Amino acid sequence: MGTQVKKIILSSLINLVFGVLIGGCVVIPGMSAGTVMILCGIYGALIGHVNGFYKSKKQFISAIIFLVPLGIGGVIGIFALSRLLEFLIARFSLPTFSLFAGLVLGSVPLIIKITYYKKKIAQEDAPTPPQQKIKWWHVIPSIIACAVVIVFAVLTVPESGVKALTFGTAMMLILSGAIAAAAMIFPGISGAFMLILTGYYNTILNAVNTFNIAMLALVILGAVIGFLLTAKLVGIILKRFKLITHMAVVGFLVGSVVGMFVYPGTYASATGAWGIVAAVLLFIVGFACTLLLSFFQKNKDSL
């Protein structure tokens, strides 16, 4: 077996594992799949492959080798975690959402590090460039993004569930899939949390667990549309408005944490004394885990 083939197999296995992690995060409210991609160091590569796969035969083959294992892993992650997540949210909602909140908040330092430090992996032996100066107006995108997420969380109405598949619900499932995919590829925004805001989170989670092919097909159709359109848009935004985008991501992350504690479903179960203690401990554990991961993530220019 040639060296090149071994390298492709190894990278495919690694991307399969990354896909499982990303797929698991897709169904967790508050967790941003885009942020997990940054932690894995594959965000920039994914955007590049999605935006450039049609330019040449070589780029198409390279994109297939990169994206297919990620996609397979993502599907595995979604189906593996969805039933467990449905159980945890039903029985232990407060501790579960607290763990998610800690995981989200712990990724904020990583975004700030990527924003203000420009050292790349290819230049590890070179002197670290000076830190970009933080100015007061840098926090404005963060404040706006945070406020938008919190407002949506406050205005969220309890989900009634889809009783029958009509034209209207079909269009909403396609739209929900597109919104979730767009949020998934945009760092800092949780696709699952956006589904909660649209009122279709439990419906789609139940469709995954019961393998409702009709509903899943509509969601997947919307997700493909949202993914392809957003990848191009994100590439343009990150190129032209990088600093503003990074700071908005910080706002989305903080807003998602606040939004989870504003969301009424967080307090549906396990709100007694032991539940509160478990919630505090799990929040700390989640925060520490993501913070440690951000320290180990090499500072590639992946966002």
Prediction pTM value: 0.71
User: Within a domain: residue 194?
Assistant: yes
Structure tokens at 130: 């000076």
> What is 215-275 written as a DSSP string?
HHHHHHHHHHHHHHHHHHHHHHHHHHSHHHHHHHHHHHHHHHHHHHHHSGGGGSS--SHHH
Please, are residues 181 and 191 in contact by the beta-carbon 8 Å criterion? yes
User: Within a domain: residue 62?
Assistant: yes
User: Within a domain: residue 211?
Assistant: yes
Task: Please tell me the distance from the alpha carbon of residue 61 to that of residue 245, in angstroms, as a whole number.
Answer: 31
Residues whose CB is less than 8 angstroms from the CB of residue 166 and which lie 6 or more positions away in sequence, other chains included: none
Q: For position 276, what pLDDT does the model report?
A: 92
User: Within a domain: residue 258?
Assistant: yes
Please name the helix (run of DSSP H) or strand (run of DSSP E) that holds residue 176, with its range, or none. Answer: helix 167-185
Angle 108-116/273-296 helices, nearest 10 degrees? 30
Q: For position 127, what pLDDT does the model report?
A: 43
Three-state DSSP at 269 gives coil
Task: Please tell me the distance from the alpha carbon of residue 74 to that of residue 21, in angstroms, as a whole number.
Answer: 7
Q: For position 53, what pLDDT does the model report?
A: 72
Cα angle for residues 104, 110, 113 (degrees, 5° grid):
150
Domain total for the chain? 1
User: Within a domain: residue 302?
Assistant: no
Please, are residues 262 and 154 in contact by the beta-carbon 8 Å criterion? yes
Please, are residues 28 and 190 in contact by the beta-carbon 8 Å criterion? yes
Sequential pLDDT tens for the chain (303 residues) = 567 777 888 888 998 998 888 888 788 776 778 778 877 778 878 888 877 777 778 888 888 888 889 989 988 988 888 888 878 888 888 998 898 888 888 878 777 776 665 544 333 444 444 455 667 777 888 899 888 888 877 776 656 566 677 888 888 889 988 988 887 777 767 788 778 777 788 888 888 888 888 899 999 999 888 888 887 777 777 778 777 877 888 888 888 888 888 877 788 888 888 999 999 999 999 898 878 876 665 544 455
- Domain of residue 29 covers 3-296
Half-sphere exposure (Cβ direction) of 282: Cα atoms closer than 13 Å: 16
Q: For position 95, what pLDDT does the model report?
A: 92
Task: Please tell me the distance from the alpha carbon of residue 22 to that of residue 32, in angstroms, as a whole number.
Answer: 9
User: Within a domain: residue 200?
Assistant: yes
Query: Where do we find the tokens 């909602």?
Result: 93
Q: For position 282, what pLDDT does the model report?
A: 93
